[in-house]
Amino acid sequence: MKKLIIVLGVIYSTFSFGQDTLPSIEKKDTTQLDEVILITQRKLSNYRQEKTLSSIDDYLEKSNRITMIKRGNYAWEPTLSNMTSERLNVTIDGMQIFGACTDKMDPITSYVDVSNLKKVTIASGQEGTENGHCVGGAIDLQLPESKYYDFGLKSSVDLGYETNGNYRTAGLDVEYSGNTFYLNADGIFRKSDNYDAGGNQEVLYSQFQKYNISLQGGYKLSDKHQLDANVIYDKATDVGYPALPMDVSLAEALITSVTHTFKSDSTFIKNWESKLYFNTITHIMDDSQRPDVPIRMDMPGWSDTYGFYSKVKIEENKHNLLFNLNGFYNRSLAEMTMYPNDSNQPLMFMYTWPDIRTLYSGIYAKDTYALSGTSTFSASTRFGFQNNTIGEEVGLESLQIFYPELTDSKNRFLMGVSADYQLKKDNYDFAFGLGYGERAPSVSEGYGFFLFNSFDNFDYIGNPYLNNEKSIETNIKFNYYLKNFKVGIESSYFYIMDYIIGEIDPTLSPMTIGATGVKIYTGIEHASIFDVYLNTSYNFSKTLSFNGTIGYNYGQGSNDEPLPIIRPISYLAEVAYTTSKFNAALQLEGNGNQTRFSSFYGEDETPAYGVLNLNLGNIVNLKSNKMVFKYGVENILDTFYSTYADWNNIPRQGRNFYVNASFVIR
């Protein structure tokens, strides 16, 4: 292990010599296949991002490929190409960070807020391996870049109110920017009561409250060198999870990083960014608000991650090279204490994540080569080494119940490669990609101990002997432009080997009272996941446009069972009117009947639905200050519905009037 790190370190060090010797190279624009969601908090955007104070979750949900799994009104879990977090690599500005909840009640996206971020980069499949290994793709939540703009002091205030759930939001942002120094402080507070589903049906335990503060600052050491530091503190309390038997009394994250950036147009290395980071998460599940439970329990979890990355960008002739050397060390610990109904009996305790330490180091390289003015070819690869150690002796002994020969340490070697070709012409563009990738099992999949999944009502046991999950993928994208009309098709196909999923072990007795049985994570031989989207848009005039999307997804395992949480036919249609001071959009969004549901994995059929939304926006300039208003109605017809991704079919919000106001003061 040490050896590998040292070798990588040496590689790293060698890059640092001779950098000032090469002639300057003109910077070329590289087309990205990735989808980028801009978090345009205080601009008028005409496309599906209607609220200035949308949560990150709302922003993500606007992406075609992303679906949010909802267990309540807060902390939705993103899925990308029908794959959930363990198959994805979700990072905050390249930093690895892992939720501390064994039941996935705290996706990483819940620990940041729109005020912390500039944009979200979504990459499908192996295009997403820049920061780590994945099968399904990557979501990188990117922090704002350094701002040495010398605009002095700027501040803004955001206020929001929504009628459904009496949802209140307030945000404050203060920025100072000089030539060599900048500082940005922001805070945001959100609080919602229980929301109502269609037909004024209150959804109990759907309340939440959170605040998030962040501080980012930077100092320019010289023309080419700068140092940035970022601290995010996020604290959610009193979060209800109507789809689950427990709520969360505390979800707290501290995310810190220090970044050194070297930037130069005249040297061989154009950009060299190195970051050291640390983050810590505390997550406490409790059921004290629930009147009726078979047994009272506490389930706290902790996750600490230390890491670094160092990214080098080199441009040479037609090559555009990117190297990323990174490593992290994570500790995940979760425990469960149950209080027997007979108070004479002692407390019941177990480690559900027995202090799993993950040490990873790896290197990524990508070359984008311009074949001609209109076409590029790019290839990337990532190699990594991962060690998992069970830190808690009690945890090792617990797992030895199932795996008597288990030792406390396991090494894995991981790799991924991808290649893609892009062609851009005036009236059409085309992209085609191929990839192969591997991922290690997640902490729950490898080492979870009686993790209850309320979706299929089974207790899950991890399997440290799981093979790496491997995926062969291909994707294709084609857009055709004809004057004001655009039509595009995008599709991806994943053939996943040793697909990790829980399989029933009928000999085991569930731990959770009322659970149906116990599943052990196993790798089924293979699984296929396919999706295709057809996108069209038409601009009637400069101000009036239409766009529509229809999508189809398919997932099947080698056991001839459909995979769970695969999106049924989905559609979205939007008419938008936009001027520089005003915008309006009417949306129709819905899913078809979920005919291919997976009863084998605990799913039931979700009926078709369609909802109608209206959103409007204004910008008002008052001298040098600016006011942005966003307002509208969601679910205008007050439809009562739930989607395939709603945990235990909890219904979604009914009609909701909202207004967001932002004041930008210079």
Interacting residues with other proteins (CB under 8 A): 1-2, 5-6, 9, 12-13, 16, 221, 225, 260, 262, 272, 274, 276, 294-295, 306, 308, 310, 327, 329, 336, 338, 340-342, 345-351, 359, 361, 394, 396-402, 404, 449-450, 507-511, 513-514
CB nearer to other proteins: pick between 50 and 93: 93
Task: Tell me how far, at minimum, the Cβ of 195 lies from other proteins, in Å.
Answer: 33
Contact (CB, 8 A) for 511 and 450: yes
Task: Tell me how far, at minimum, the Cβ of 286 lies from other proteins, in Å.
Answer: 18
Task: Tell me how far, at minimum, the Cβ of 312 lies from other proteins, in Å.
Answer: 11
CB nearer to other proteins: pick between 162 and 355: 355
CB nearer to other proteins: pick between 311 and 630: 311
Separation CA 37–CA 65 (nearest Å):
12
The H or E element spanning position 547 is strand 544-557
The two tokens of residue 580 are 């520089």
Query: 3-state secondary structure string, 581-613?
Result: CEEEEEEEEEECCCCCCCHHHCCCCCCCEEEEE
Task: Tell me how far, at minimum, the Cβ of 88 lies from other proteins, in Å.
Answer: 25
Q: How do beta strands 517-539 and 458-461 pair?
A: parallel
- Among 584, 576, 585, 582, smallest CA distance to 619 is for 582
- What residues does 174 pair with on adjacent strands? 155, 185
Contact (CB, 8 A) for 412 and 440: yes
The strand ranges marked E within 125-245 are: 137-142, 152-162, 167-177, 181-192, 196-197, 201-202, 208-220, 225-239
240: phi then psi, degrees, rounded to nearest 5: -90, 145
CB nearer to other proteins: pick between 204 and 401: 401
Separation CA 545–CA 23 (nearest Å):
47
Cα-trace Rg, the chain: 25
Task: Tell me how far, at minimum, the Cβ of 397 lies from other proteins, in Å.
Answer: 3
CB nearer to other proteins: pick between 114 and 399: 399
CB nearer to other proteins: pick between 394 and 614: 394
Task: Tell me how far, at minimum, the Cβ of 140 lies from other proteins, in Å.
Answer: 21
Task: Tell me how far, at minimum, the Cβ of 9 lies from other proteins, in Å.
Answer: 5
Q: Which amino acid belongs to residue 83? A: M
Task: Tell me how far, at minimum, the Cβ of 338 lies from other proteins, in Å.
Answer: 7
CB nearer to other proteins: pick between 153 and 401: 401
- Among 464, 432, 263, 453, smallest CA distance to 356 is for 464
CB burial class (10 A; 0-12, 13-18, 19+) of residue 2? exposed
CB nearer to other proteins: pick between 148 and 402: 402
- Among 581, 585, 485, 482, smallest CA distance to 540 is for 485
CB nearer to other proteins: pick between 514 and 607: 514
The two tokens of residue 496 are 């996943």
Separation CA 385–CA 360 (nearest Å):
6
Separation CA 158–CA 161 (nearest Å):
10
The H or E element spanning position 325 is strand 319-339
Q: Which amino acid belongs to residue 342? A: D
Handedness of CA 22, 25, 30, 36 (dihedral sign): positive
CB nearer to other proteins: pick between 265 and 605: 265
- Tell me, what DSSP letter sits at residue 453? E
CB nearer to other proteins: pick between 349 and 540: 349
Separation CA 397–CA 459 (nearest Å):
19
Task: Tell me how far, at minimum, the Cβ of 11 lies from other proteins, in Å.
Answer: 10
Task: Tell me how far, at minimum, the Cβ of 345 lies from other proteins, in Å.
Answer: 4
Task: Tell me how far, at minimum, the Cβ of 361 lies from other proteins, in Å.
Answer: 7
The strand ranges marked E within 221-292 are: 225-239, 247-263, 269-286
Separation CA 500–CA 396 (nearest Å):
22
Task: Tell me how far, at minimum, the Cβ of 194 lies from other proteins, in Å.
Answer: 30
CB nearer to other proteins: pick between 274 and 593: 274
- Among 646, 582, 638, smallest CA distance to 612 is for 638
Separation CA 442–CA 168 (nearest Å):
36
Task: Tell me how far, at minimum, the Cβ of 344 lies from other proteins, in Å.
Answer: 8
CB nearer to other proteins: pick between 37 and 325: 325
CB nearer to other proteins: pick between 221 and 482: 221
The two tokens of residue 520 are 């052990």
CB nearer to other proteins: pick between 291 and 346: 346
Handedness of CA 634, 638, 642, 647 (dihedral sign): positive
Task: Tell me how far, at minimum, the Cβ of 104 lies from other proteins, in Å.
Answer: 22
Q: What 3-state class would DSSP assign to 117?
A: coil
Task: Tell me how far, at minimum, the Cβ of 501 lies from other proteins, in Å.
Answer: 20
